Structure 1
Amino acid sequence: MTLGIDEGSRIGVVGRNGDGKSTLMSVLAGRLEPDDGRVTTRRGLTIGMLDQRDVLPEGSTVGSLIVGDRDEHEWAGDARIRDVISGLATDIPWEARVEDLSGGQRRRVALATLLVGDWDVLFLDEPTNHLDVEGVAWLAQHLKRRWSTNSGALVVVTHDRWFLDEVSTDTWEVHDGIVEPFEGGYAAYVLQRVERDRMASASESKRQNLMRKELAWLRRGAPARSTKPKFRIDAANELIANEPPVRDAVQLSQMATARLGKDVVDLVEVGVSFGDKRVLQGVEWRIAPGERTGVLGVNGAGKSTLLKVVTGVIAPTEGRVKQGKTVKFAILDQQLADLHEVAHERVNDVIGRQRTSYVTAGKEMTPGQLLERLGFTSAQLQTPIKDLSGGQKRRLQFLLILLNEPNVLILDEPTNDLDTDMLAAMEDLLDGWPGTLLVVSHDRYLLERVTDQQYAVLDGRFRHLPGGVDQYLQLRKQATDHQGGATDRPTAVQGAQSSVAASAAASGLSGAEKRNAEKELGSIDRKLAKSAGERESLLAQFATFDQSDFDGLAALQARLTTLDHKTAELEVRWLELSELLA
């Protein structure tokens, strides 16, 4: 097998869990020696890698890990470092020690520590773990503007399909001991895989049909992705010409009403407080039979509290909750609690106590067929549940829930430990599930794929998002800009601003002068971020410009020079303000 990573490569790596994606990354990054063949790299090449272990030296502080022993004026004047800290570490105490951090905080610190470095090639293994929707969007934008078009290289393993499509220009699929390259991001990969599977043997028919359905959604339900330059629209339309919509919304609604009646759950002017802390207020949500809703919000916004109110686990301190008489809840969460009591039993014994058949999308299937659809082999049916992998346990939990036939299903971060194929299989089963579906997830692709509408918990209130995830990100950005970075995801550099707050009194500034200086500091941060985007755009124009048009090239160079001068002035002023306030 011969592979190459060229200047400008942006490669997404996909494949089933256990097929060798992480091993491939380690070999390419030089951390693991191959049994056969050789790996060669250009002399002087700098390689950075994020693996899944998050090994950080105990006793180190967040600040020392991210910026090292650099003086504050040095790192605070570096636009890349400010951007990384703003995107990943603003809510993490600067002086906190590694051993006191949560798993999610350790992961973000490890990623930030890597990204502040200057690398020719970055290898990222599941970088979106522990990032919310905003964090994933920030990381995608950071990686897209980190290098100019034909420089640097990126190889990323992730199950986040939105992220893959956003950052990748090529896709490698690892399967059956080989690596198969595809041109384009995730959407283009799905198209080419459908074309490949169409020509494969009949044994691949099930996989082919599932990918064809995925392709139909990408073309009809997510046009913004399908217009990627390398996604061949005509070929995609031909392949899905006879493919029905992914869900028959009318039929599912009728079936859900028959199972649930007209009443599911009504929340009327609901509020929840814990002591003096008000978590939710004025929530109005009348959940309908067959409704498919995604719920967004930053960590700690109150999403879990809201779902506990819906299910009756928490009683509201204000307003009222009315549940329909026939409502039967089921929750697919991250704890796998349903499997603890049967951990020592074999998979087929546990399944054998369930229903003998299950109907999805009008087709009757046995539990064994459902297990096969979710990636279980015959041999794995004899395996004790305690010996299954995390992804296998998650799939088994999902199947047991379906066989129990709830009529309101809540998915709480269901994508953990699942590869892209298994996510597609889960989504396929949900397409034929006739009930009310509520989903909380940082996986944007999943939210858009399985739900028909999205809401957000913002400042304790529950808000409908007609514009979906894009509208949510815009609202969060507006809130950040309006408050000058003083939200629960600030945009100014936390380390510098914490020192500003601690020593403002010693600076001799009056209260008004201090506030004006801090406001200007936040404004300069935003201007520098905008300048970085403009510079990247100009560099991209250089790459595609007619090299014989000397006047045009001179004009572009003049614009770039002017922009660099303005950026330098802004950075000098940023340092002046930082020193003044400190």
Structure 2
Amino acid sequence: MAHLLGAERLHLEFPTRVVFDEVTIGLDEGDRVGIVGKNGDGKSTLLKLLAGRLEPDGGRVTRRRDVRIGMLDQSDTVDPELTVAEAVVGGVDEHVWAGDARARDVIGGLLGDIPWQARVGDLSGGQRRRVGLAALLVGDWDVVFLDEPTNHLDVEGIAWLAEHVKRRWPAHSGALVVVTHDRWFLDEVCTATWEVHDRILEPFEGGYAAYVLQRVERDRMAAASEAKRQNLMRKELAWLRRGAPARTSKPKFRIDAANELIENEPPVRSTVELKQMATARLGKDVVDLLDAGVVYGDRTVLRGVEWRIAPGERTGILGVNGAGKSTLLGLVTGAVEPTSGRVKRGKTVKIASLTQELAELADLGDERVATIIGRQRTSYAVGDKELTPGQLLERLGFTSAQLQTPVKDLSGGQKRRLQLLLILLDEPNVLILDEPTNDLDTDMLAAIEDLLDTWPGTLLVVSHDRYLVERVTDQQYAVMDGHFRHLPGGVDQYLELRRVGLEGAVATTDRPDQADDAGAPTPIATLSGAERRSAEKEVAAIDRKLVKLQAEIARLHEKLAQHDQGDYVGLAAVTDELRAHESSVADLEMRWLELSELLD
């Protein structure tokens, strides 16, 4: 693969700290790289260095002479005086750009709901961001750098972007480097992951799932001070391997190694135990929406909604912007009154919402974190452990020094975590999370998910973060064409329904125990009995082959170690045999994962 650009011994420092020291990395044709790391550790800065927008204090970045680089920075803005058409295709005539398959794909995928002749300055912030992304993607680039491209995209938009970058270049050509906290996107697109931490860059093979495995292995060998992070990543790996086979279908990591690491790891959460605890706190009645509808003027937002929310229920809610998700949640909280049907609430229900506006912190700007927390409860139950608020803050990434920081001086991610902690300390028994992933890096998302795994209440999540929705909820529903319908096939089913436009013709589908199968949409394709048996036999055969191959690989490694190092011909023969076995293992693992996804 041809080399595109590289960084050699990069050093960069700001007045208060060193960002990078002695960083060396390369980018070749065909690379699809995701960059992860804590907020503030230098992910966006690294993109700017590689793209030539920022010069290092030491070292150098070299680029192939003819390489074309395109970048979407978080601070990039589009001239507000331009129309959308001018910003995206410039002065090119419509018959010209309309004949370009890439331009049509980008415009249809990102700008379908934005007027083509609208003035950019009149658009919302999210719409302007999408115009900027479209303007970049219609261009012809050898290397594309994207900084948080999934911000302001819904589940459909993120799925479209993933497909676009996967087919944007022919195989083994072009390169993508992306900074994002969207872990599903990382897994779907990336073949390598770079972790930025402690002034260095550490490369890993594969997307997010493979990165988690390798990080667990790395942390296992690290010092005792890494124990907390190791255990959290081990739990993350257990979920990836047991509960979501589709997520591990891309990276080629060793199945036996992953299974060994999680052998004694319990499930990420005990659903039965949590529901028992939730029932004890809530009783049997939570909130029932009975044939509920909402009409604003001549517009029907919701119609015929039947939703009996159960104690301990963990539900993800999907829908395009403007579909009525906020109105639905308003019916649950009481902020919205139904114009038809009724809403019934249990007597012990205590609802709290994690909103996007950080309303809970509005009047606390000058107060220090420690002072605010000191007014709360002295302990909080996390599973079978009692933690102090300070310990909870530490678990959510706060340092001792930050406890004395005024709220107004916290970063966006820190405010988000403090907001969640204050809500949990107030002990609600119904928690609504509205886009909770804003301003959070992947480590903090994992920490919050770990905390929610032990929360014994009813959890309702609205988010465009597909990974989060599938990770913390047990079922998904969608608001589509005013109806509220169950998605037995999860996010994949939702995307398929949106793709074929079924939402306009589907009547309201009740919950699974109340559904009328005759009126349900065609389910996601499943295997026939004979096909399932055949697939199960093939999986069993692959398992046996993998065991034999791993034993043979171990034997060859031992043979190499004992072989005469001066016998180059003999060493080459053993090495070739070893590589052939490892290639067979990789192919078998990929087939095993594909079959597992079908059988799930």
TM-score strictly above 0.5: yes
8 Å contact 2:481–2:504 — kept in the other structure?
Answer: no
Q: Residues 71-105 of structure 1: CA distance to partner in whole angstroms, max 9, x if unpaired?
A: 11110000000000000001111111121010010
Structure 1 residues 283 and 481 mapped into 2: Cα distance closer, same or farther (>3 Å)? closer
8 Å contact 1:54–1:106 — kept in the other structure?
Answer: no
Deviation (angstroms), 1:54: 3.2
8 Å contact 1:264–1:288 — kept in the other structure?
Answer: yes
Question: Counterpart in 1 of 2:499?
Answer: 477
Report whether the alignment pairs 1:177 with 2:206.
Answer: no
Determine the C-alpha separation between the residues in 2 that align with 1:8 and 1:168.
10
Deviation (angstroms), 1:253: 0.5
8 Å contact 1:56–1:98 — kept in the other structure?
Answer: yes
Report whether the alignment pairs 1:209 with 2:231.
Answer: yes
Determine the C-alpha separation between the residues in 2 that align with 1:424 and 1:96.
40
Q: Residues 421-469 of structure 1: CA distance to partner in whole angstroms, max 9, x if unpaired?
A: 0000000000000000000000000000000000000100000000000
Report whether the alignment pairs 1:436 with 2:458.
Answer: yes
8 Å contact 1:216–1:245 — kept in the other structure?
Answer: yes
Deviation (angstroms), 1:373: 0.6
Determine the C-alpha separation between the residues in 1 that align with 2:119 and 2:70.
23
Question: Counterpart in 2 of 1:144?
Answer: 166
Determine the C-alpha separation between the residues in 2 that align with 1:54 and 1:478.
34
Deviation (angstroms), 1:482: 8.8
2:350 corresponds to which of 328, 333, 347: 328
Which is richer in strand? 2
Question: Counterpart in 2 of 1:375?
Answer: 397
Deviation (angstroms), 1:480: 7.2
Question: Counterpart in 1 of 2:304?
Answer: 282
| Alignment-mate amino acid for residue 480 of structure 2 | L
Structure 1 residues 198 and 308 mapped into 2: Cα distance closer, same or farther (>3 Å)? same
Question: Counterpart in 2 of 1:389?
Answer: 411
Question: Counterpart in 2 of 1:110?
Answer: 132
Determine the C-alpha separation between the residues in 2 that align with 1:422 and 1:139.
24
Give matches, 1:409-424, under 5 Å: 409-424=431-446
Question: Which ranges of 4 or more aligned residues in structure 1 deviate by more than 6 Å?
Answer: 480-483
**Residue 430 of structure 1 aligns to a residue in which SS?**
helix
What percentage of residue pairs aligned between the two structures are identical?
Answer: 78
Determine the C-alpha separation between the residues in 2 that align with 1:481 and 1:365.
46
Q: Residues 479-509 of structure 1: CA distance to partner in whole angstroms, max 9, x if unpaired?
A: 07999xxxxxxxxxxxxxxxxxxxxxxxxxx
Determine the C-alpha separation between the residues in 1 that align with 2:502 and 2:386.
50
8 Å contact 1:164–1:186 — kept in the other structure?
Answer: yes
2:71 corresponds to which of 27, 49, 67: 49
Question: Counterpart in 1 of 2:544?
Answer: none
**Residue 60 of structure 2 aligns to a residue in which SS?**
coil
1:257 corresponds to which of 254, 262, 279: 279
Question: Counterpart in 1 of 2:518?
Answer: none
Determine the C-alpha separation between the residues in 2 that align with 1:190 and 1:43.
36
2:36 corresponds to which of 6, 14, 17: 14
8 Å contact 2:352–2:431 — kept in the other structure?
Answer: yes
8 Å contact 2:42–2:196 — kept in the other structure?
Answer: yes
| Alignment-mate amino acid for residue 344 of structure 2 | K
**Residue 300 of structure 1 aligns to a residue in which SS?**
coil
Deviation (angstroms), 1:224: 1.2
Report whether the alignment pairs 1:299 with 2:299.
Answer: no
Deviation (angstroms), 1:341: 1.1
TM-score of the superposition, structure 1-length normalised?
0.82
Aligned length: 483
Report whether the alignment pairs 1:134 with 2:148.
Answer: no
Determine the C-alpha separation between the residues in 2 that align with 1:465 and 1:420.
27
| Alignment-mate amino acid for residue 221 of structure 1 | G
Deviation (angstroms), 1:231: 2.4
Deviation (angstroms), 1:134: 0.1
8 Å contact 1:188–1:232 — kept in the other structure?
Answer: no
| Alignment-mate amino acid for residue 293 of structure 1 | T
Q: Residues 195-215 of structure 1: CA distance to partner in whole angstroms, max 9, x if unpaired?
A: 000000000000000000000
8 Å contact 1:269–1:319 — kept in the other structure?
Answer: yes
Determine the C-alpha separation between the residues in 1 that align with 2:445 and 2:220.
21
8 Å contact 1:279–1:460 — kept in the other structure?
Answer: yes
2:371 corresponds to which of 326, 329, 349: 349
8 Å contact 1:261–1:326 — kept in the other structure?
Answer: yes
1:447 corresponds to which of 469, 480, 494: 469
8 Å contact 1:227–1:233 — kept in the other structure?
Answer: no
Question: Counterpart in 2 of 1:236?
Answer: 258
Report whether the alignment pairs 1:34 with 2:61.
Answer: no
Deviation (angstroms), 1:316: 0.1
Q: Residues 38-95 of structure 1: CA distance to partner in whole angstroms, max 9, x if unpaired?
A: 0000011100000112311131110011111111111000000000000000111111
Determine the C-alpha separation between the residues in 1 that align with 2:93 and 2:242.
52
Determine the C-alpha separation between the residues in 2 that align with 1:191 and 1:44.
37
Determine the C-alpha separation between the residues in 2 that align with 1:361 and 1:78.
56
**Residue 59 of structure 2 aligns to a residue in which SS?**
coil
Q: Residues 337-392 of structure 1: CA distance to partner in whole angstroms, max 9, x if unpaired?
A: 10011111000000000011001111111111110110000000000001100000
1:338 corresponds to which of 360, 365, 368: 360
Deviation (angstroms), 1:228: 2.6
Report whether the alignment pairs 1:154 with 2:140.
Answer: no
1:71 corresponds to which of 82, 93, 100: 93
8 Å contact 1:256–1:290 — kept in the other structure?
Answer: yes
**Residue 80 of structure 2 aligns to a residue in which SS?**
coil
8 Å contact 2:449–2:471 — kept in the other structure?
Answer: yes
**Residue 438 of structure 1 aligns to a residue in which SS?**
strand
Structure 1 residues 480 and 121 mapped into 2: Cα distance closer, same or farther (>3 Å)? farther
Report whether the alignment pairs 1:246 with 2:268.
Answer: yes
Determine the C-alpha separation between the residues in 2 that align with 1:481 and 1:95.
28
Question: Counterpart in 2 of 1:566?
Answer: none
Determine the C-alpha separation between the residues in 2 that align with 1:480 and 1:273.
22
Deviation (angstroms), 1:229: 4.4
| Alignment-mate amino acid for residue 423 of structure 2 | I
Q: Residues 23-47 of structure 1: CA distance to partner in whole angstroms, max 9, x if unpaired?
A: 0000000000011000000011100
TM-score of the superposition, structure 2-length normalised?
0.80
Structure 1 residues 412 and 357 mapped into 2: Cα distance closer, same or farther (>3 Å)? same
2:119 corresponds to which of 68, 89, 97: 97
Structure 1 residues 196 and 339 mapped into 2: Cα distance closer, same or farther (>3 Å)? same
Question: Counterpart in 1 of 2:528?
Answer: none
8 Å contact 1:454–1:469 — kept in the other structure?
Answer: yes
Determine the C-alpha separation between the residues in 2 that align with 1:72 and 1:469.
35
Determine the C-alpha separation between the residues in 1 that align with 2:502 and 2:316.
23
Determine the C-alpha separation between the residues in 2 that align with 1:60 and 1:236.
52
Determine the C-alpha separation between the residues in 2 that align with 1:215 and 1:393.
28
Determine the C-alpha separation between the residues in 2 that align with 1:365 and 1:21.
32
Question: Counterpart in 2 of 1:565?
Answer: none
Q: Residues 205-264 of structure 1: CA distance to partner in whole angstroms, max 9, x if unpaired?
A: 000000000000000110112233412211100000000000001110000000000000
**Residue 391 of structure 1 aligns to a residue in which SS?**
helix
Determine the C-alpha separation between the residues in 1 that align with 2:124 and 2:253.
40
**Residue 416 of structure 1 aligns to a residue in which SS?**
coil
RMSD: 1.0
Question: Counterpart in 1 of 2:587?
Answer: none
Report whether the alignment pairs 1:86 with 2:108.
Answer: yes
**Residue 281 of structure 2 aligns to a residue in which SS?**
helix
